[in-house]
Every structure is written in structure tokens, then in C-alpha cells.
Amino acid sequence: MSSIRKLIGQTAIYGSSSIIGRFLNFLLTPLYVIQFSNEQYGIITEMYAYVAFLVVLLTYGMETALFRFSNENKNNFNQVYSNTLFSILSTSSFFILIVSIFSQDIANLLKYPEHAEYIIWFGMIVGIDAISSMALAQLRLKEKAKKFALINFLNVGVNISLNLFFILYCKVNHDNGYSNWIIDSLYNPEIGVGYVFISNLIASIIKFLALISEMNFSGNFDFSIIRSMLKYSGPMLLVGLAYVINETLDRAMLKEILYSQYLESGISRTESLKLALSQNGIYGANYKITMIISMFIQAFRYASEPFFFKDEVNKNSKETLSKVMNYFTIMLVFIFLVITLYLQLFKYFINNPDYWEGLNVVPILLGANIFLGIYTSLSIWYKLSDKTIYGAYISGFGVLVTVAINFLLIPKYGYLASAYATLSCYGCMMILSYFLGQKHYKVPYNLRKFFIYMGSGILIYILSIPINPTQNLSLLQYGYHTFLLISFLILVLIIEKPFSKIV
């Protein structure tokens, strides 16, 4: 119990800044959907999908490798950390250079030929963020919680402030015919959604500057250390890339498949692209609602990875893994129920009725995130046992599921197919990870409790009032949904008698 209390504390400390920060960024969604068209928001959705992919590519699993090798070389931490930074700094700098040189070619490929500057900005964002991620990982290892939180809040605060300045102040005033020297000097209406990207870039640079003092290059360059870390992190790169593919490929495929489908039906290229981006924007905006559960999963991952590596030496470490999975499942199902039972309120985060037609994908994507969260907890087995290649196998299978379902069903079902593809992908990965883990690193998980909580969550959702995007629930109906939510909590308290002792 003391180990679990420690993990809960670390989740709260290291995860709170990420949860609050991402939630504040999430609140920018209503601003975007009001100020930009579906087509323009589709550009934002697509570009950030590529950023997520590239950040994973540029960190190539070195964050997890840093946790593993630092734990094994406690007396030689500076040497391990310095070589990690050497490696990431070199590859990120090379990436920024290549992207800048070929920015126009990449822009043409993405069908944004007039905005090559987007490519340069994003190249800088992902390169800088990759370097910063290693310094943040070092803060987590050394448990510098306050500095970790402050830097994350600084990054988010700068990003949000600049978004509000450029979009809410400059754009709104300019669109309404008002102008002054600030707007005339700093705002160009032709940049449009580019100000979202500029804000992010400036915030990333400031975060990097704040982390410079944590970038310790005192150790000597030692390629043997890098080679050993790369051997461990190589499969983790594949795991990370597969995760991003599973999270973001649906939006890229949605755009391309629908674009081709509209063209084949005789619609002009311009109108086809506009319609495809519009559907992408609707899907992306509703996907944002599910970020609430994603933020909790990220908080858990921030705390759990370094924790489980350190806790591995304890003889009861596997029992701790089992108990953590149990409580983690409870929280995931609870968040799922809160959002689905009160979705008619959460829809106002997308403060534009034009996007509400996509609300039916939210419960599906929330279910997918439950599977992802459980997989995240299960996946620690191949990291602790140094069998990271299995993570690559599992993730690769998930990619095949994602690609196959999207390719086959998007032409008929549109973004609904993408939602079910995500659900199927993470469901398969969760099941595969469990059975392979039990073979190679057996953990005594309590499956009875797992199925009770998952089953009760599904049953309560079935008993809830179906989603109607154009209508709100009455006070009586909200009362009924509150009763359903309380019923789940009562079930938890009846089953988890020791649960209240650690909260």
C-alpha cells in the first residue's frame, strides 16, 4: 500500500501539470471552431497529427531507455544522461535543417503549396520539443516535481496567451474593422491559422530556454553507451510510432480517402478538398472531448514508468502492478461514465453546433481510450523484462488493424469507421499484451474485478439516455444519469473495501 500511495502521489505531482496544461489547451478548441471554418480547423487537426508522429520519431524511445539505464547505472547517471542529450540534440538539429531545405516540396505533397512556412515552423517545434523531452524526463527521474510543473505551466501559459492575443484580440478586431498600431504591426490576416502554429513555436522555444540549466553535458561522449541504449530503445521507437499512427493516421486517411471519393463523384478539386477537410475537422473537434481521459492516461504514464523501474527490486512488485491495474481500471471507467452521461454538457466545449453531428463517435473513442489505458499499464512487462521487441510486435499488429478498417470502411461510414478502427486496434493490443505478458512476466491480475467494472460501465452506458446532438437533457434526465453514476461508485465501495484507506 505504501508503494501505491507513492505512485498516486507521483501521479498527482507529475501529472497534474500535464492534465491542467492540456486541459487549458483543450479549452482553445471552442475558440478555434468559432473563429475558423471546418476546413481551416481541418488543417490544424492534420498538422498536429504529423507533429505527434514526428516527436516520437525524434525521441526514438530514448526517454524509456534513460529510465532503464539510469536505474542500472545509478553511480554513472551523468554519463548516461549526457550521451542521451548528445544523441537527441544531433538528430533533432539535422531534422530541422532537412525540413527547412525541403519545406516547399513537403508543402506541395500535403496540398498546402502556398504555406511552406507551416512546414518550417512545425519542423522547429518538433525538433525543440524532442530535446526538451529529455530534460523533462531527467526532472521526473530526480523527482524535481515543482520545476517540472512550473515549466509545463509556463509553456501552456505562453501558448494560450499568444493564441488569445493573435486570434481573439487581433483577428476578431481586424475582422470587425477595428485597427490600431499593435494589430497593424503584429497581425497579418493572410497567415490565418498559422498563428496557432506561431504561438506553439514561441512557447516551445521558451520552454527550451527554461530547461537549459537541466541539460547536463558534463559526461564524455561514449558511443558504446548510445549503442546500448539504442538497442533497448529501437523497439520502443516502433512502439511509439505505432501509437502515433494508431492515434493520428485515421485523420490523414480520412482526408485522403474522402478527397478521392469526392473527386470520383464529379466534384471539383477545390470543393472536394474543402469537404474532406470539413469532415476531418468535425472528427478532430469531437476527438478533443476524449482528450480528458487521455490526459489522465498521460499523467499515469509520467508517474508509473520511473516508479515501476525503481520498484522492480521489491519482492512484492508484481502484486503492486496488479493492485495498480485494478484502481486504474476503476478510474478509467469512472471518467468514461462522467463524460458519456453528461455529454450534452461536454459538447459545449465545441461551441459550434456545426460540429455536433460527430458526437456519436465520442463514446466509441472513450472506449478505445480505456483499452489504451489498460494496455499502457499492461505494457510495463516488456519494459521491465527487457523484451521490448514484443512491444513492437503488438503495436505493429495494432497498426495493421487501424489501416485495414480505415481503408475498408471510410468510403462507406466516414469518420465513424475511424472511431471503430481505433476501438478495435486498442482492444486487440490490450488482449495481446495481457496474454504475452502472462507468458513472459506473469502478474497476478484480478480478472474478476476487471470484468465487473468494465461490464458495469458498459451496462450503465446502455441504460443511459441516447445522445441527441440537437437537444439537451431535462433536469430529471440529468438526475437519472447522476443516479447511474452514483450506482457505479457504490459498487466500487462495496467491492473495494481497502480502497478508501489509500485515498
Per-residue pLDDT reduced to its tens digit, 28-48: 777 777 777 766 777 777 777
C-alpha distance from residue 85 to each of 213, 237, 466 (Å)? 13, 17, 51
SS3 content of the chain, % helix, strand, coil (to 5): 85, 0, 15
Q: CA 293, 299, 301, 304 torsion: positive or negative?
A: negative
**Mean model confidence pLDDT for the chain:** 84
DSSP symbols for 165-205? IIIIIIIHHHHTT---HHHHHH--TTTTTHHHHHHHHHHHH
pLDDT at 2: 58
More confident residue, 27 or 320: 320
Q: pLDDT tens, 100-119?
A: 999 899 888 877 777 788 88
Distance (Å, whole) CA 147 – CA 128: 19
Return the top range by mean pLDDT from 51-55, 240-244, 275-279, 410-414.
410-414
Would the pLDDT of 308 be above 60? yes
pLDDT at 18: 63
Q: How confident is the model at residue 502 (pLDDT cuts 50, 70, 90)?
A: very low
Would the pLDDT of 61 be above 70? yes
Secondary structure string (H, E, C) spanning 226-255: HHHHHHHHHHHHHHHHHHHHHHHHHHHHHH
pLDDT at 431: 95
> Whole-prediction pTM value?
0.74
pLDDT at 230: 86
Query: Among 280-284, 362-366, 448-452, where is mean pLDDT lowest?
Result: 280-284
Task: Give φ, ψ of 390 to 5 degrees.
Answer: -65, -30
Helix orientation angle between 77-101 and 223-264, rounded to the nearest 10 degrees: 40
Place of cell 519494459: 383
pLDDT at 499: 47
More confident residue, 460 or 180: 460
End-to-end Cα distance, the chain? 11
Distance (Å, whole) CA 364 – CA 227: 41
Q: How confident is the model at residue 503 (pLDDT cuts 50, 70, 90)?
A: very low
Q: How confident is the model at residue 14 (pLDDT cuts 50, 70, 90)?
A: low
Distance (Å, whole) CA 254 – CA 419: 11
* Percent above pLDDT 90 for the chain: 27
Distance (Å, whole) CA 202 – CA 223: 33
Read off the pLDDT of each residue in 172-190 and give the average, rounded to a whole number. Answer: 84
Domain boundaries, the chain: 2-501
* 352 dihedral zone (left: phi>0; alpha: psi -120 to 50; beta): beta
* Percent above pLDDT 70 for the chain: 91
